[in-house]
Amino acid sequence: MTASEDRDLVARAVSGEDTAAFGELVRRHQSHVRNFLRKLAGDHALADDLAQDCFLHAWDKLQSFSGRGSFIGWLLKVAYTTFLQSKRKSKRYAEILESAGHVADQESRHQVLPDDEVTDLDKFLAVLTEEERAIMVMSYACGLSHREIGDATDMPVGTVKSVIFRGKEKIRNSFDIKDHQHG
């Protein structure tokens, strides 16, 4: 899976509206995007729906991929934007419900995993803010460089570094991470 192959596929998809080339891009990157969104949303079904929306947005905006950075970096930017838009929409929906007199049960809106399904990673992610979570996942799970994360989140590289530093500190302060094993 090389960057130049991705760029070729993007060029094919854009120039001739080649959906097969786009399908290949989806096949290559769906795992990263879905895992990224699962970690952000904490709900697998919602994350997969968001991943579908993300790829449809990516198809619409494919011409805007300049080829300067990696395609996965660009794709995660689209995924993060899709996630934030969905959060905004659900927040607005909750506000409408509340103003209409419905007392929405917080627990029912956020799928809570049973205790035995809560992993160390879930515990770590829980102490982070949404922004920190997104940046830490991009860095440690997706292997994006600080520059790529900066591009994806519209943040200067310095800010990305400080968010990662802060995230690590929070995890360090909340848990003794040396005692944790993978899982």
Partner 1 sequence: MTSKIINMAEKIKDAEDRLLESLFESPPLADDGFSIKIVRKVNRRLWMRRLTLPVAAVIGGAIAFKPLTGLVSILSGLSTMIPTELLSGAASSIPQFQTIVLGAILLGVGLLSMRLLEE
Beta carbon nearer to partner 1, 17 or 95: 17
Task: List the beta strands (DSSP E) in the chain.
Answer: none
CA distance 48 to 30: 10
Name the minimum Å distance from CB 84 to partner 1. Answer: 20
Nearest CA to 149 out of 79, 76, 82 is that of 76
Q: Which CB atom, from 77 or from 146, has the smaller least distance to partner 1? A: 146
Task: Give the residues lining the site for partner 1 (CB under 8 A).
Answer: 17, 19-20, 22-24, 26-27, 30-31, 34-35, 38-39, 48, 51-52, 55-56, 59, 120-121, 124, 136-137, 140-141, 145-147, 168, 171-172, 177-178, 180, 182
Closer residue to partner 1 in complex, CB, 51/72 = 51
User: Least distance (Å) from partner 1 to the CB of residue 126?
Assistant: 13
Q: Which residues contact 59 (CB under 8 A, 6 or more apart)?
A: 13, 22
- In angstroms, give the least distance from the CB of 100 to partner 1: 32
Cβ-contact 175, 182 below 8 angstroms: no
How far is Cα 86 from Cα 127, in angstroms, rounded to an integer? Answer: 22
| CB 78, min distance to partner 1, A | 13
Q: Report the residue number, 22 or 74, with the smaller CB distance to partner 1.
A: 22
DSSP letter, residue 127: T
One-letter identity of residue 34: R
